[in-house]
Amino acid sequence: MSPLCLDNLLPDYIKRFEAYIPSKPDPELVKLYGCRQLYRLNNNENPLGPPEAAREAIAEFPAPRAAVYPSGDAYYLRQKLAEKFNMEPDQFLVGNGANEVISFVIKAFCESGDNIITADKTFAVYEWVAEFSGFVASLVPLKNYEFDDQGMLDRIDDRTKILFICNPNNPTGTYWNTGRLRRFMDEINGSKIVVLDEAYFEFVEAEDYPNGLSLTREYPNLVIFRTFSKMYGLAGLRIGYLAGDLSVVDAIRRTCIVYSVNSLAQVAAVAALGADDHIVRTRSMVRQGKEFLKRELSRLGLTFVCHEGNFIMIKLPMSDTLAYRKLMTQGVMVRAMTSFRYPNHIRVTVSEMEAMQAFIDALEKILP
Ligand SMILES: *Cc1c(COP(=O)(O)O)cnc(C)c1O
């Protein structure tokens, strides 16, 4: 066997980086924790699944097409997006989930010595991609569970290229309204790229929530992320996109991997886009679930953070990783929040009443 000199080969930032450990498949978890079924409340998935039109598109997908490469630039989906949002098809870039477009943006703008700015308690993939690509992720603490605009502005230096804002924020559900976002963009004044991650856009009911896409006309340095994983129930097919000013999207396209978005995901996404009734049904389920959870959690004397989005964060009088394991034995899977820097907190996806009741029953059993 020949020797292997990994130590010399790996950059320090890779040696330091700790890989994310995905959870096991449901059948394995059911065996491991000895539960009968499993309510998945850990990933903010839509329990109603994809819209009817997307289900049909998936069912009718001709198997022989699996042999043929997909459209390399999601041609029809970008046309449909352009039509729906009154923009140009070339203002959209589709990726293998919004997760993939995060790395497109970072690769396009950052070089050695550059940094990105985001919050300490938010979706962690911005930070991760920056770090395992060798860039510094500068983390500004949330303030009252919200992204701290002034704190982020104060953190900017000559080597800052991108600021990532999750709007509404996963896991706190807080958001910047239109006025606040405008003030922030006016301060930046085109000098940096600002990414607005709108993964939960379709869930937001607040009147003063900004429409990121239309603001890209005024602020060409603004880049918007959206996904089909949450509201549209297509998480398993992996498809999301970014949108922005033509010149910015043209630049980002250079780092984009052609053929990373499969054909089935593309046809399902095209079909899903028109399904406004699905959004109405899902929102009403989320509203009902949130009301129920707030009432029950208050009864149990627990504090929680619940704003926009299909999730709620709950503070527990015990370790979140212990709570996770105990809830698993009851057949309820939640997200332990230590990894989001919220020890003793869990995040729960707002779902149908049966699952919400099962969660509350399980919680009552495991609370000390
Ligand atoms: C789920 C989520 C995403 C990732 O979506 P994919 O399209 O499934 O990769 C991006 N941002 C936030 C804030 C999310 O919660």
User: What is the predicted pLDDT for the residue at 1?
Assistant: 85
Q: Which atom, in ligand 1's list, is nearest to the CA of 230? A: 1
Residues within 6 Å of ligand 1 by CB:
44, 97-99, 123, 166, 170, 197, 199, 227, 229-230, 235, 240
Arithmetic mean of pLDDT over the chain = 97
* pTM exceeding 0.85: yes
Q: How far is the CA of 44 from the centre of ligand 1 (A)?
A: 9
Cα 98 to ligand 1 centre (Å): 6
Q: What is the pLDDT of residues 280-310, one digit of tens each?
A: 999 999 999 999 999 999 999 999 999 999 9
What CATH number has the domain spanning 52-272? 3.40.640.10
How far is the C-alpha of 214 from the C-alpha of 200, rounded, in Å?
17
If you take atom 11 of ligand 1, which residue's CA is the nearest one? Answer: 199
CA of 251 to the centre of ligand 1 (A): 22
Residue 84 has pLDDT above 90, yes or no: yes
Measured from the CA of 100, which atom of ligand 1 is nearest?
9
Helix, strand, or coil (residue 137): strand
CA of 278 to the centre of ligand 1 (A): 19
CA of 227 to the centre of ligand 1 (A): 6
CA 3 / ligand 1 centre spacing (Å): 40
For the chain, percent of residues with pLDDT exceeding 90:
96
* Predicted local confidence at residue 257, as pLDDT: 83
- pLDDT at position 368 is 87
Which token pair is 109? 């703008």
CA 332 to mean position of chain CA atoms = 21
Residue-wise pLDDT for 123-173, tens only, equals 999 999 999 999 999 999 999 999 999 999 999 999 999 999 999 999 999
Cα-Cα-Cα-Cα dihedral sign, residues 280, 281, 286, 291 = positive
Separation of CA 262 and ligand 1 centre (Å) = 18
Q: Is the pLDDT of residue 277 over 90?
A: yes
Pocket of ligand 1, candidates 203, 230, 348: which has the most ligand atoms within 8 Å of its Cβ, to mutate?
230
- Which residues of 179-331 form beta strands (DSSP E)? 193-197, 222-227, 240-243, 304-305, 311-315
Mutate to test the pocket of ligand 1, among 100, 121, 170, 242 (most ligand atoms within 8 A of CB): 170
Please give the Cα distance from 192 to 76 (Å, whole number): 31
| Nearest ligand 1 atom to alpha carbon 240 | 7
Q: What angle do CA 275, 212, 143 make, to 5 degrees?
A: 115
Domain-wise residue ranges, the chain: 12-41+276-366, 52-272
Q: Which atom of ligand 1 is nearest to the CA of 99?
A: 9
pLDDT band at 198 (very low <50, low <70, confident <90, very high): very high
- Candidate of 99, 266, 308, 312 to mutate for ligand 1, largest count of ligand atoms within 8 Å of Cβ: 99
Average pLDDT over residues 179-192: 98
Beta pairing partners, 240: 95, 227
CA-nearest residue for atom 12, ligand 1, is 199
**Structure-derived torsion over alpha carbons of residues 250, 169, 18, 13, reported in degrees to the nearest 10:** 50
Give the number of the atom of ligand 1 that is nearest the alpha carbon of residue 95: 7
Where do we find the tokens 């042999």? 67
pLDDT beyond 90 at 183: yes
Out of 226, 229, 231, 308, give the residue to mutate to test ligand 1, the one with the largest number of ligand atoms within 8 Å of its CB. 229
- How would you classify the pairing of strands 332-333 and 311-315? unpaired
Q: Is the pLDDT of residue 106 over 90?
A: yes
> 189 C-alpha vs ligand 1 centroid, how far in Å?
27
Span 175-197, mean pLDDT?
A: 98
12-41+276-366 and 52-272 have identical folds: no
197 CA to middle of ligand 1, Å?
Answer: 8
CATH architecture of the domain with residue range 12-41+276-366: Alpha-Beta Complex (3.90)
Cα 309 to averaged position of ligand 1 atoms, centre (Å): 12
- How many angstroms does the Cα of residue 248 sit away from the middle of ligand 1? 21
Q: How far is CA 239 from CA 259, 264, 272, in A?
A: 12, 10, 12
